[in-house]
């Protein structure tokens, strides 16, 4: 079972990290990641028709999953998603419901949620974070973080997730689940799914995958004035009286309160599961003709050791940095170099290449050279870099499926860190933390094959 990135946050919330300043800071960093980095673009690309809103579409159901539950077997449920899934909310709540409903089965979770990430990263990390742990059911939750992505990109990534899963084990069932943000509730009340969920429904239709929109009833409750989507929880008796019987859904318009908003998400999943329980015939899923020809089934995470590293790189262990453990849960390893000129060279055949890495206070810039294209300089520092967090450096996408060579080199100059931080009214608190040109790559994200 994977260890959740939010486990540290839970310990912090429970008061168990007061004597460990480093771990306490990591927890704060994770919390900020969950609440800041997932705010989606509300602009909808006009490239895909909106689907009719329906809370549950059973389609082919989840027959293999329910068959194992009813037989009292070991059952693993994987949760692949963003920060809404990483929260102590619908994920552990639905897990407990399955455990209570089927006490003879040994039901466990694979927590593969990372705040601030969408299906375009999920498809690359699926094998490492989920499939190697052999799930029986895979929940996929990316509708919020994919909110500003083009429909075709959503089709590529979501279809890649489906095809990788069925290729790894045709008995694994999949369920798409959709969440929402404050700006999307009117669309749902108007009888339509927002953009990302609409795009995902096309893939679900093609493969017969059931789907649940966890937020449809939430939107309806808001319309009936039974729910306030965004507000702080009342503290005084007067504030509670003013609230009357209305439910407060979230503090920030994105992440539900565990005891209110996530309870509504749980109820939606429960209604869907009850509808699917006796639907469909157990058996292997087949890989039909693709929905889009350029799907990302071949997306994968490749160890950085498959590349050619210059001599100055050092593999970090848990004693080197306080964040190494939680990062390597996802990347498999973490490397560091900070001297200009240190490089990584990757020869590959394929169509897309990224580096799974970190952004942080001490990070600099990377010069990217691909084939005979002009060099580009990519900062590994942004306005949120008062702490270290997972990120991806995109080298190239939509390449011809031929042989390519990419060289990434640490640039000698730092980005203008004071100016970048000022965009969020942040300042450099300790110059020593920021005065470096470090880069922390962890793994290669590739659609294709490494060439030696």
Tell me how long the chain is: 452
Pairing of strands 247-250, 227-230: parallel
- Residue 446 located in a structural domain: yes
Q: What is the CATH number of the domain that holds 213?
A: 3.40.50.1110
Q: Identify the sign of the CA torsion 392, 396, 400, 401.
A: negative
- Residue 28 located in a structural domain: no
pLDDT for res 239: 80
Each of the 452 residues of the chain gets a pLDDT tens digit; together they read 333 333 333 333 333 333 333 334 334 444 444 433 433 434 444 467 899 999 999 999 999 999 999 999 999 999 999 999 999 999 999 999 999 999 999 999 999 999 989 999 999 999 999 999 999 999 999 999 999 999 999 999 999 999 999 999 999 999 999 999 999 999 999 999 999 999 999 999 999 999 999 999 999 999 999 999 999 999 888 888 888 789 999 999 999 999 999 999 999 999 999 999 999 999 999 999 999 999 999 999 999 999 999 999 999 999 899 999 999 999 999 999 999 999 999 999 999 999 999 999 999 999 999 999 999 999 999 999 999 999 999 999 999 999 999 999 999 999 999 999 999 999 999 999 999 999 999 999 999 999 98
* Residue 422 φ then ψ, to 5°: -65, -20
- Residue 407 located in a structural domain: yes
In this structure, the answer to whether residues 145 and 267 fall within a common structural domain is yes
- Residue 18 located in a structural domain: no
Cα separation, 146 vs 200, in Å, equals 10
Pairing of strands 365-370, 376-379: antiparallel
Domain count, the chain: 2
Residue keyed to tokens 């509808």? 275
Task: Note down the domain range covering 375.
Answer: 299-450
In this structure, the answer to whether residues 90 and 124 fall within a common structural domain is yes
The two three-digit tokens of residue 356, written as one number: 């799974």
> 79: helix, coil or strand?
strand
């Amino acid at each position: 079972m994977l260890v959740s990135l939010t486990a540290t946050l839970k310990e912090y919330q429970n008061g168990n990290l007061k004597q460990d300043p480093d771990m306490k800071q990591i927890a704060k960093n994770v919390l900020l990641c969950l609440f800041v980095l997932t705010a989606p673009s509300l602009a909808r690309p006009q490239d895909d028709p909106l689907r009719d809103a329906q809370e549950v579409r059973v389609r082919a159901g989840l027959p293999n999953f329910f068959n194992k539950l009813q037989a009292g077997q070991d059952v693993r449920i994987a949760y692949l998603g963003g920060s809404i899934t990483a929260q102590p909310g619908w994920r552990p709540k639905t897990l407990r419901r399955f455990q209570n409903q089927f006490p003879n089965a040994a039901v466990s979770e694979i927590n593969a949620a990372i705040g601030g990430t969408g299906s375009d990263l999920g498809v690359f990390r699926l094998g490492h974070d989920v499939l190697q742990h052999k799930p029986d059911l895979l929940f996929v939750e990316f509708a919020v973080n994919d909110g500003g992505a083009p429909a075709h990109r959503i089709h590529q990534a979501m279809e890649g997730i489906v095809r990788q899963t069925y290729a790894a084990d045709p008995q694994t069932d999949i369920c798409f689940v959709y969440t929402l943000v404050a700006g999307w509730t009117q669309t749902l009340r108007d009888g339509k799914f927002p953009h990302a969920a609409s795009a995902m429904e096309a893939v679900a239709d093609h493969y017969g995958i059931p789907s649940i929109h966890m937020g449809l009833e939430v939107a309806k409750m808001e319309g009936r004035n039974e729910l306030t989507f965004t507000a702080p929880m009342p503290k005084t008796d007067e504030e509670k009286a003013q609230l009357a019987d209305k439910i407060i859904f979230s503090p920030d318009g994105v992440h539900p309160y565990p005891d209110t908003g996530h309870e509504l998400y749980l109820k939606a999943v429960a209604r869907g599961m009850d509808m699917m329980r006796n639907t469909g015939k157990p058996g292997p899923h087949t890989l039909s003709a693709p929905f889009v020809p350029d799907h990302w089934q071949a997306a994968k995470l490749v160890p950085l050791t498959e590349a050619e590293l210059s001599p100055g790189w050092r593999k970090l262990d848990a004693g080197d940095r306080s964040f190494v453990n939680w990062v390597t849960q996802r990347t498999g390893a973490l490397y560091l170099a900070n001297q200009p000129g240190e490089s990584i060279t990757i020869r590959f055949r394929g169509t897309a290449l990224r580096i799974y890495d970190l952004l942080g206070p001490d990070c600099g810039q990377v010069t990217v050279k691909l084939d005979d294209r002009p060099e580009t300089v990519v900062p590994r520092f942004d306005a949120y870099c008062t702490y270290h967090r997972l990120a991806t450096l995109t080298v190239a996408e939509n390449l011809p499926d031929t042989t390519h060579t990419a060289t990434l080199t640490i640039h000698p100059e730092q980005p203008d860190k004071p100016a970048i931080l000022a965009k969020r009214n942040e300042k450099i608190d300790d110059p020593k933390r920021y005065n470096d040109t470090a880069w922390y790559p962890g793994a290669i994200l590739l659609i294709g094959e490494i060439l030696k």
